[in-house]
Amino acid sequence: MKALYYHGLDQVFEQPREFEVTDVPIPEISDDQVLIKVSLCGMLSLRTGTQRSLNADEHQVLAVLICTCELIPGHEVVGVIEKVGRSVTEFSPGDRCVADNSITCEHCFYCRRGNPLLCENFASRGVTMAGGFAEYVAFEAKKVYKIHNLTDEEATLVEPAACAIHGMDRLNAAVGIDALIVGAGPTGLILAQLLKLNGAAKVVIAANKGIKTQVAKDLDAGDVYIELDRDNPGPQWRQLKDDNPYGFDVVIEATGSAGVANEAINYVRRGGTLMIYGVYSNDALVHWSPAQIFSNEIRIVGSFAQVLCFPRAVAYLDSGKINVKGMVTDVFRLEDYDKVLEKMKDKSAVKIAVRPT
């Protein structure tokens, strides 16, 4: 089968495009696994805003986050069941499906305490082992979910939606809140809709002017939209403060910019919550006043990835309650992966997907 193969992701900074489309064996499946013929695989829409400008190849390195090995990337898998293992009874060849990429060890300190997302041996298809940028991929049947109403493009948003649902669990927000989401990537737009569906009185989306803000409006993801000037956003931020003098019960920083995260706390209402939802470089720092956090009783939470959220994500998207139409703006063939990297540079895409066949 054809697959995109990375030869040592830790070397990409020195040799920026060390990948190739090559022939590799079709995976063999065990009794409890299924073989998926991949229809489409989403490209991680990285929420990052590091101190320097990253090139697209470095974005791909960050996208796999913890991997330094050779592998087939791609963790947002959509496809059709090709073959089932002998003990698999809940799937049949031809079933359309998505697959949960997360893998936990179930025996480390955190797993045994009921916190599997913090697993010390956390692994992921497409991140630490073979993923979906290939014609076929094998998954344990327990990690696979049928889909019925979603297009392949829409189904690539199930994994991001699962991450957003975990974010909602972390927020545990009350009904009737005012929320500000900074950033309009796919998970930000899904979070906005989840907040509206789950009782937010007002959802404000602030993002750079461009295609992402337009898609947010098309989806009716928020109630108010603040289009930021990429070069001079100061006036829009000041207007947001003037229009909301008491701030917001919930502020979600979903850009991955340390500078934005540093300022986001100033938009949190007394007694409110700041959620850090972006992906940051390891050397990124913020400077928050502990006195401000103490006296205003501000709660700061992080949200990383997901476990056990796929069933809810499938239910929300397959039912249409969460609308993801139009979020996938670009689809490329596996052979055109260099064009994917180029597209990531020009900031004109919301979500990119790769079609292996």
d(CA 240, CA 114): 40
Query: Residue 25 has what pLDDT?
Result: 97
- Cα separation, 236 vs 216, in Å, equals 18
> How far is the C-alpha of 333 from the C-alpha of 1, rounded, in Å?
14
All domains of the chain, ordered by start, with CATH? 2-157+327-355 (3.90.180.10), 161-302 (3.40.50.720)
Residue 60 reports pLDDT greater than 90: no
> CB of 157 within 8 A of CB of 190?
yes
β-strand pairing of 202-208 with 224-228? parallel
Q: Please give the model's pTM, rounded to 2 decimal places.
A: 0.92
What pLDDT is attached to residue 312?
98
Per-residue pLDDT, 341: 85
pLDDT at 53 over 60: no
What's residue 46's pLDDT? 56
Helix (H, G, I), strand (E, B) or coil at 71: strand
What average pLDDT does range 200-223 have in this prediction? 97
**What are the beta bridge partners of residue 205?**
181, 225
Question: Three-class SS of residue 278?
Answer: coil
pLDDT for the residue 49? 46
Nearest to 219 by CA among 248, 186, 251, 250: 186
Question: What's the pLDDT at 143?
Answer: 98
- CA distances (Å), origin 42, targets 64, 223, 292, 351: 13, 28, 40, 8
- pLDDT of 69 reads 63
Q: pLDDT tens digit string along 237-275?
A: 999 999 999 999 999 999 999 999 999 999 999 999 999
Mean pLDDT computed over 169-186: 97
Alpha-carbon distance of 179 to 197, in angstroms, equals: 13
pLDDT of residue 295: 98
Q: What is the mean pLDDT of the chain?
A: 91
The alpha carbon torsion through 324, 173, 123, 336 (nearest 10 deg) reads 20
Q: From residue 353, give the alpha-carbon distance in Å to each of 40, 60, 91, 332.
A: 7, 13, 25, 6
At residue 158, φ and ψ (nearest 5 deg) are -65, -45
